[in-house]
Amino acid sequence: MARPKVGIVFGGCSEEHDISVKSAQEVARHLDVDKYEPFYLGITKRGAWKLCDSPDAGWEDDRCRPAVLSPDRGVHGLLVLEEGRYEATRLDLVLPVLHGRFGEDGAIQGLLELSGIPYVGCDVQSSALCMDKSLAYVVVRSAGIATPTFWTVMAGDSIDPGGLTYPVFVKPARSGSSFGVSKVRRADELADAVEAARQYDSKVLIEAAVEGSEIGCAVLGNGGDLITGEPDRISLSHGFFRIHQERAPETGSENATITVPADISAESRSLVQETAKAIYRALGCRGLARVDMFLEDDGSVVLNEVNTFPGMTSYSRYPGMMAAAGLPLTDVIDRLLSLALAGNDHAR
C-alpha cells in the first residue's frame, strides 16, 4: 500500500520563522517514514517557497527547487519548477508546521481550504480567533471561563496610564512567543511598552496581572474525543517566560524552570485539564492546541492564551507534556496525521 504523501510546510515570514524551522527539524526526526512519505516545503523569511530534502541546515540553498501549494483543486498539491516548467505533485495531506502570523492566523489554512487538501490543525475561523487574544477572551468569557481583565488599544488610540492598577502586561494582540511583550510596573513605562508591542501588531492588548502559577495543558483531538497531556508549570526567577527569544534555549531557559508533570494537587490537575478542553471546544479548535492558563491560589483557573500550532522543538512544552502522559512525539505526529486523513472536513 502506498504511503500517504505529506506536505510539511515550515519557515514563513513571521518573527517566529526560526522557531518553525526548529519545530520542523524535530518533526522530521520523529516522523515515521515507513508509514508516511514527506515533502518538505520551506518558506524563506522573504516569502519564497522551496521544496527541499529536509528542514536541516542549508535547506535554502540552490539544491532546493521553487515550488508552491496550488489553490487549484485539480492539482491537489504542489507545483514544482523542474527544468523550466512546473510539474504537479499530488499531496494527500499537509502538516503546516508554522507559528505566528501567516501560520496560526488562518492564512495558510485559507490556502489549504482553496486547494481542497486535508490538513492538520485548526480551521480558518478557529485559527484567526485564537490568534487574536482579545477576541478569544470574549468567546471564552461567554462560555463561563475566566480571563484576565483587559483593554485593547488600536492604532491612534491612547490610554490614560493613571487609570490602571500596576503591574500590567502589554502585548501585541495577534502575535506569539512573547515577541513585543512587556511587564509594566509603573505608569511612566506604559507608553514605551505600547510602542514596543506596536512593532508587531497595530492592535495592542493591556492585561491586568493575574496572581498565580503559569500552567499549560496540551490538547489533541477533535470534537468530544479529546486527550490531554500532563499539565506543566512554569516557575520564573524574574521577568516573564520568553524561552524562544533566548540565545541557547536547548540548554535550558535563562529565567524559567518547567516542571512536568506540574507539582499541583490531583484536584487542580483535573480542573486544568477539563478547563483546557472546555476552552478548546469553545474556540472551535481541532487537531491540537496548547492552552496556557493561570492557576490562582484559591484553586481557580484563568485563561492566558491558546496556541493552535505550538512549538515542537526539543525544548518545547507541548511534546514534553504529551511525552509525560505516555505519548511520544512520533505517536503525536501519527495521531495528528491520522485525524487529518480520516474524516477531516477541511477538504470540501
**Is the CB of residue 124 less than 8 Å from the CB of residue 285?**
no
- The domain 128-146+211-341 having CATH identifier 3.90.550.10: the answer here is no
What are the tens digits of pLDDT across the range 287-311? 999 999 999 999 999 999 999 999 9
Q: Is 72 helix (H, G, I), strand (E, B) or coil?
A: coil
Please say if the pLDDT value at position 347 is more than 90.
Answer: no
- Which cell numbers hold the place of 287? 487537531
Query: Chain-centre distance of CA 9, in angstroms?
Result: 14
Q: Please give the single-letter amino acid code of residue 69.
A: L
For residue 198, count CB atoms less than 10 angstroms from its CB and return exposed for 0-12, middle for 13-18, buried for 19 or more.
middle
**Is the CB of residue 219 less than 8 Å from the CB of residue 291?**
yes
Do 128-146+211-341 and 150-208 fold alike per CATH? no
Interatomic CA distance for residues 246 and 242, integer angstroms: 7
Would you give the DSSP letter of residue 247? S
What does the pLDDT read at residue 48?
94
Per cent of the chain over pLDDT 70 is 92
Q: Indicate the pLDDT class of residue 348, thresholds 50, 70 and 90.
A: very low
What are the tens digits of pLDDT across the range 151-189? 999 988 888 898 899 999 999 999 876 788 999 999 999
Average pLDDT over residues 307-327: 96
What percent helix, strand, coil does the chain show, rounded to 5? 30, 30, 45
From the candidate CATH numbers 3.30.70.980, 3.40.50.620, 3.40.50.20, 3.90.1150.10, the one assigned to the domain spanning 5-119: 3.40.50.20
Would you give the DSSP letter of residue 13? S
Pairing of strands 204-208, 168-172: antiparallel
Interatomic CA distance for residues 105 and 124, integer angstroms: 7
How high does pLDDT run on average in the chain? 92
Interatomic CA distance for residues 332 and 151, integer angstroms: 37
**Is the CB of residue 178 less than 8 Å from the CB of residue 245?**
yes
Interatomic CA distance for residues 90 and 178, integer angstroms: 37
Average pLDDT over residues 93-122: 96
Please say if the pLDDT value at position 266 is more than 80.
Answer: yes
CATH number given to 150-208: 3.30.1490.20
What does the pLDDT read at residue 150?
95
Q: Evaluate the CA torsion angle 83, 86, 89, 91 in order and state its sign.
A: positive
Interatomic CA distance for residues 265 and 3, integer angstroms: 44
Q: Kindly report the pTM of this predicted structure.
A: 0.92
Q: Indicate the pLDDT class of residue 207, thresholds 50, 70 and 90.
A: very high
For the chain, give every domain's residue range: 5-119, 128-146+211-341, 150-208
How many other C-beta atoms are found inside a 10 Å radius of the C-beta of residue 250? 10
Q: Indicate the pLDDT class of residue 243, thresholds 50, 70 and 90.
A: low
